[in-house]
Amino acid sequence: MKPAPFNLLRPRSVDEALGLLQSYRDEAKVLAGGQSLVPLMNFRLAQPHYLIDLNGVEGLDKIEIDDQTLSLGAMVRQRDVEGSPSIAERLPILREAIEQVAHPAIRNRGTVGGSMVHADPSAELPLIATALDANFHLRSAQANRSVAAKDFYQGYLLTDVAPDELLVGIDFRLPPAACGWCCSEITRRHGDFAIVAVAVVLGLGGDRRIAFVRVALGGVGPAPLRVEAAEAALLGEWPGAEPFRRAADIATQAVDPPSDIHASSSYRRHVARVLVRRALSVAESRVATRRDPGPFDSAQGRPFPRGETEHLRAASSREPNGSSGPGERISIAVAVNGVRRTATVEPRCSLVDFLRHDLGLVGTHVGCEHGVCGACTIMLDGRTVRSCLLFAAQADGAEIITIEGIGTNEALHPLQLAFRQHHALQCGFCTPGMILAALELLRDHADPTEEEIRVGLGGNLCMCTGYVNIVRAVRAAAQERKTV
């Protein structure tokens, strides 16, 4: 479960990154959030000779919105979209879609552009891009070009991006302001890949007939599909159960879903019909309304005090275009639990291995090593992340908090006390990651409901199945904070 050796390249500008892509082309992979690429590398399904890390590139993380368009830089973090009041107001279907992407620790690190280019046919963001016919802005060292979503996705995990091109931004055309919306999916559990997903936008004219509609499906083929035949059948109709049923039937006829270990083709086709019909009904109910962001799903990712972080970044050894060969080590400087630490690491060394083996902080556990179990959860610059999905070199200049940094044997953190008092740990393997995930949850939501706790901790697995007491412990810690 460790990646093959590679050269790590860390450009500081788009032009530098494009120069590297031009030089290495098929031998290189671009690293954005890494939440899809790093698991493939850990499984050695992807073995790039060169890894081009975009996390130090300036100018790719902008969010801009005007009367007609929402523009997102390719490196905008998914959690920043989720927490944007402007996006919640102007394009709520995008926020609703992102709330269904994996779990908070994944969304904290995952990027909009990374998910778009990965092109999983079940993923939520490519689905929304297809539904709204988004434009993708690509750059190479020679030229710039824009590609519509219908041409961008060309097959399973396949896009129109050339080996020497970089996705730098995505433009979403804003639907009419009074439109209703719905993004819904069927999954085994919240945050899993969708078995089938649907996105619907619906607008009514002055006579209350359907004047604007978008219907798109994911998980039913090699790429997300906009069902224009279903849209055409709805335009000009009065909204209601019968036209929605006809549109759902048309959408079902337009797809040929695959069969796999998760679902048969016939089951996916049935689910697609049900979801389209339901989504149209929900979208109609939301016409001319705007959802007020709730306290749970409007997290702003407010960081802890940064301490030495800016100093560490200023002192970092990172140079523009800094590179390292497979056998070479990289110098890094980090603040871990308030203590400045320096080290040299191999490019492929994961952050969890660095914490455990180099620093001796064994409270951060190693489980699945592909971002599913949550045992390796830590705080990086105030946000939870999967430390098995980051390379230690990426943490250069960052502030890290592990389970060892939130309390001591003599003075346990209130969450630790609550876990002990409510018997919320059995074998204890999941406990450090669970507590850090709960710490972020309570920081952003002072009084979460039981459902909000379950969703917030859904990305942390307890193989002892002790979830009932874990939820009780988090609720108790929240109540204790209210009485202090």
Q: Give the C-alpha separation, 55 to 114, whole Å.
A: 12
User: Can you give the pLDDT at residue 321?
Assistant: 39
> Nearest 5°: phi and psi at 172?
-105, 125
Q: How far apart are CA 326 and CA 314, in angstroms?
A: 26
3-class DSSP string for 102-138 = CCHHHHHHCEHHHHHHHCCCCCHHHHHHHHCCCEEEE
Vertex 459 angle, CA 398 and 420, to 5° = 85
Block residue for tokens 């590179």: 323
CA–CA dist 98, 91 (Å, integer) = 12
Question: Partners of 199 in the beta sheet?
Answer: 183, 216
Average pLDDT, the chain: 92
Tokens of 55: 């996390």
Q: Could you give the CA distance from residue 115 to residue 394 in angstroms, rounded to a whole number? A: 19
**CA–CA distance from 197 to each of 109, 120, 121, 134, 253 (Å)?**
23, 12, 10, 18, 16
Confidence band for 324, pLDDT divided at 50, 70 and 90: low
pTM: predicted TM-score of the whole model, two decimal places: 0.91
Phi, psi of 383 (to 5 degrees): -130, 145
Give the domains, in start order, of the chain with CATH numbers: 7-55+302-404 (3.10.20.30), 59-285 (3.30.465.10), 410-483 (1.10.150.120)
Residue 382 has pLDDT above 70, yes or no: yes
CA distance 239 to 202: 9
Residue count of the chain: 484
Q: Which position has the token pair 């433009």?
A: 171
- 324 - beta bridge partners? 8
Position 320 confidence tier, pLDDT thresholds 50, 70, 90: very low
What pLDDT is stored for residue 304 in this prediction?
Answer: 30
Per-residue model confidence (pLDDT) at position 292: 44
Contacts of residue 12, defined as CB under 8 A and 6 or more positions apart, other chains included, come to 56, 57, 58, 320, 321
pLDDT in tens, 23-67: 999 999 999 999 999 999 999 999 999 999 999 999 999 999 999
Low-confidence winner among 7-21, 95-109, 297-311, 317-331 (lowest mean pLDDT): 297-311
Tens digits of residue pLDDT in 196-243? 999 999 999 999 999 999 999 999 999 999 999 999 999 999 999 999
Q: Is the pLDDT of residue 124 over 60?
A: yes
Expressed in angstroms, the distance from the first to the final Cα of the chain is 45
- Taking the CB of residue 29, how many other CB atoms lie within 10 A of it? 17
Would you list the DSSP string of 184-215? EEE-SSTTSPPSEEEEEEEEE-TTSSEEEEEE
